[in-house]
Structure 1
Amino acid sequence: WEIAFQLKRVEELAKPLYLREEELVQEKKKLAADAQRLKNALEAARKDTDDLREELETMLSVTHKHWDTSRITGTPQRFLTEYLKVRMAEQLAEKEAQIAQDKDRYNELVVQARQRERMIRQVRRELEPLTRGMAVKTKRDRIVRLRNRVRLEKWASTTIQRHFRGHRLRQALFSWYRDYWTEVNDDTTGDTYFYNTWSEEVRWTRPLEMTLLPHKAVPPPDRWREDFDDERGVPIYINDANGETTYDRPPEMDYD
């Protein structure tokens, strides 16, 4: 639809050129038709002139007093040979002059038709950047825009997933009851579920806390333990009894 919209806009801008192109095409067709009709007439006139010349030459080579011909009235009649020689010579000169004039007119029509063809090509060259060039440019710009949008969407999706995973990871790392998950088998159904002894939460899928820290054992109450904050890159100290966290080493750990 983008290409169609742009082409419609281009057609409005290029309307004068389209009108000019159509005008030139019609002029060329008329000139070509006139030239073809004149060419056919010339061929017929040349044949008739050749026949007239041949008849005149034959009449000049004989000594008959009379000669039968249809050249004067259009129907066969008998005329004096001397009279016919003059009239047929005049006809031959007139026909040759008319043929020469028609030939010049035919050549002029051919030249004019070629001029119209050149003008049509010029108009179409002017239309080229506005039509096909615009279509190519629109396709190219659309491809670039779609590619950039796909890249942006992929980047946004990746960023959102990264932030979500980071949030979920931090949530699992700094959960007060992260080390209180246990795996339990349901005696009734035989299914496995996971139970948190601190929060009494039940899950049917393995908690992330157990995946991240399977080696951690449940620490005794009221005891501090040392962990590591990946986001800040520093140690962090967590009291599993009350959920308190600090980046300063508690004195109690020095007394243990």
Structure 2
Amino acid sequence: MKSNTFLSEVARRVTFCATIMLVATSSILSGCNKRSVAEPQTTTGDRQSGFVQDNAKPEDQGTVNGWFWSLYREGGSASITHGSGGNFAISYSNVNDVVGGKGWNPGSARTVGYNVGALSGSYNFVGVYGWTTSPLIEYYVAEMGSVTGGTYINSISSDGHSYSFYKQQRVNAPSIIGTATFWQYKDTWGGSSTGSNRSINMANHINNWRSRGGQGFGSYNYQILALEAWGGKSGYINATVW
């Protein structure tokens, strides 16, 4: 009986130790598995409009010497600096989307004067960019590059050029009032050049948008001479608006 009790005690202790080792091994392996799981990757949205995606850097804007300025950027890097009056410069590198420039808040049916003194690298659009509310409309007048897409409406003559008017609806896209559905009005000429004084009679564009756009034209929000670039572009602009 004494011998059998001893053997039973040995068996019990061996079983207990084996159980402890199994639990410990399972815990270690489980810990290794947690560390081996890849961290979630943050991705940015596709380019939608002049406004960047909700998960991108928020709006940066202000006033300097009585001039309104705005700069949006998604991905890469971008910065704006200001000279005297309506002069500004924007440098950008490897951006998913950047749109920025200088002008007024609110806008108006003014004649916009400008001179693009320097433009290098790659870009999509240089011209007048702005917004209205009630209805919410994002509008472009492309002096260099182009903004097309959507439905072609008509062409207008202004300042000695012929512009093609396109309109396009954006659904649940970033805007000046947050995510919203709105229309884009886009006039494209694209034949301007650097180093020359130019002018844009905004009344001609606005009157055509109001009568032919289908959504009218709302209350003015901001209006700037802007550059926009997207798709990993890098470059530099130095321009003056008046």
TM-score, structure 1 normalization: 0.28
Highest relative contact order (Cα 8 Å, sep 6+), 1 or 2? 2
TM-score, structure 2 normalization: 0.29
Structure number with bigger Rg: 1
User: Relative to total residues, which structure has the larger strand share, 1 or 2?
Assistant: 2
